[in-house]
Amino acid sequence: MPQRQRLAIIGSGNWGSAIARIAGRNVLRYSDVFEPEVRMYVHEEMIDGRKLTEIINTEHENVKYLPGIKLPDNVLAVDSPVGAAEGADLLIFVLPHQFIPNVCNSLRGKVSPTARAVSMIKGVEVRDGQIRIFADVIEELLGCKCSALSGANIANEVAQDKFSETTIGYRAGDRATAELFFKVFDTPTFRVGLVEDVAGVSLCGALKNVVAIGAGFTDGLGWGDNAKAAVMRIGLMEMKQFSMDFDGVKSSTFTETSAGIADLITTCFGGRNRKCAEAFVKTGKSFDVLEKELLGGQKLQGTETAREIHTFLKQRGRLDGYPLFRSVYEIAYNDGAAKDLTSKL
């Protein structure tokens, strides 16, 4: 019998914990394929005088980031990325994107080159005038192959087994890895689709967050559903246009998968980026303050991505082709008036 695969989850926030619940159950369902214990990296913090790792390991609940949902007993919280990843064959990266460089650096040289990873991170890295999806960052830093998973997946709904779909984007010729990750994630209420497009899936997940900020602005302004639909349509066009420069990106990923159009819809109606952007217009408070006040320790991804994309496009003199991305940035960072959101569209 082939060796069973050991799974590690690098991250334990709102989505990380929802995913740990699914993966923890599925490794037991496919006990011939996977080792039963799933280690999950938890960035340690104290909650009412107790360590979060200790709470998760005794009460089987992430009381801060996914309260009210029980995690399977075979999910073990570990307080370091190295401790979680040690001996793992399959690694799931599910952290807010700003923490990935540090975490990956701590894992350098400690992950087997035959291990395989999947990135669930909705963000991009912009550095020295270059842009990279996190599946590429992880591959380069750790030397192991990395796919991407993204979709219309509000974590709290998934954690309650409300129906949703998701998409795994895999590397050219590496469907076998995607099929293994399919077994880790697919359930009757969390249906996994596979596409050979790791960059398209990753970019959909990152860029929809910028559009969601724009959609939240329309909510804050009280502009109604037609305006929000227009922002979403233009946003989808800009997402596609931006992504077509990347190798192997398929137009159908944007229009036919959960990672594309479906995630854009859910995020513009039910996501945290939308919620904070609405409050930004209504209260005049900064996004940093709103993140703390409204998200209980969870992290916004859209504002940072709007800034990173703006930097990248400006350096290349391409801002004029992206009026929505540009307006979102101007309003979020440059004291632009929210009412001017559509004036240049």
Instruction: Check residue 231 for interaction with ligand NAD (CB under 6 A).
Output: no
Strands of the 145-150 sheet, one edge to the other: 75-78, 34-41, 5-10, 90-93, 116-119, 145-150, 164-169, 190-195
Select the residue interacting with ligand NAD from 121, 146, 198, 236 (CB under 6 A): 121
* Distance, CA of 82 to CA of 138 (rounded, Å): 15
**Per the annotation, does 109 bind a ligand?**
no
Give me the active site residues, please: 208
Minimal distance, residue 342 CB to ligand G3P, in Å: 21
How many Å apart are CA 150 and CA 345, to the nearest integer? 28
Q: How deeply is 138 buried, as exposed, middle or buried, from its count of CB atoms within 10 A (0-12, 13-18, 19+)?
A: buried
Q: CA-CA distance, 319 to 303, in Å (whole number)?
A: 17
Whole-number Å distance between alpha carbons of 253 and 266: 16
Instruction: Using the minimum distance from each CB to ligand NAD, give the nearer residue, 90 or 154.
Output: 154
- Among ligand NAD, ligand G3P, none, the one that 152 touches (CB under a kind-dependent 5 to 8 A) is ligand G3P
Contact by Cβ (8 Å): 123, 177: no
97 binds, among ligand G3P, ligand NAD, none (CB under 5 to 8 A by kind): ligand NAD
- According to DSSP, residue 187 is labeled B
95 lines the binding site for ligand NAD (CB under 6 A): yes
Q: Residue 174: name the closest of 117, 213, 131 by CA.
A: 117
Using the minimum distance from each CB to ligand G3P, give the nearer residue, 141 or 232.
Answer: 232
Q: Which is nearer to ligand NAD, 71 or 155 (CB)?
A: 155
Which of the ranges 2-10, 12-20, 315-323, 324-332 carries the binding residues for ligand NAD, by CB under 6 A?
12-20
Please identify which residue in the block is written with the tokens 């401790």.
83
- If one asks whether residue 11 binds ligand NAD (CB under 6 A), the answer comes out as yes
Q: Which amino acid is at 16?
A: G
Q: Which residue in 12, 17, 267, 342 binds ligand G3P (CB under 6 A)?
A: 267
- Of 167 and 218, CB closest to ligand NAD: 167
Q: Is 14 annotated as a binding residue?
A: yes
Among 154, 206, 264, 277, binds ligand G3P (CB under 6 A): 154
Closest CA to 274 of 305, 303, 249: 303
| 145 near ligand G3P, judged by CB under 6 A | no
Q: Give residue 10's Cα distance to chain centre.
A: 13
Pick the closer one to ligand NAD by CB: 103 or 338: 103
Between 198-221 and 323-333, two packed helices, what is the crossing angle to 10 degrees?
Answer: 60
Q: How many residues bind ligand NAD (CB under 6 A)?
A: 25
Tokens 């909650």 correspond to what residue? 47
156 three-class SS: helix
The one of ligand G3P, ligand NAD, none whose footprint includes residue 123, by CB under 5 to 8 A per kind, is: ligand NAD
Contact 119, 134 (CB under 8 A): yes
Cα separation of 255 and 2, whole Å?
38
Using rule CB under 6 A, residue 271 touches ligand G3P: yes
Chain residues binding ligand G3P by CB under 6 A are 122, 152-154, 209, 212, 263, 266-267, 271-273, 301
Chain residues binding ligand NAD by CB under 6 A are 11-16, 43, 65, 94-97, 99, 103, 120-123, 153-155, 297-299, 301
Annotated binding site for substrate: 122, 272-273
Annotated binding site: 11-16, 99, 122, 155, 272-273, 299, 301
Annotated binding site for NAD(+): 11-16, 99, 155, 272, 299, 301
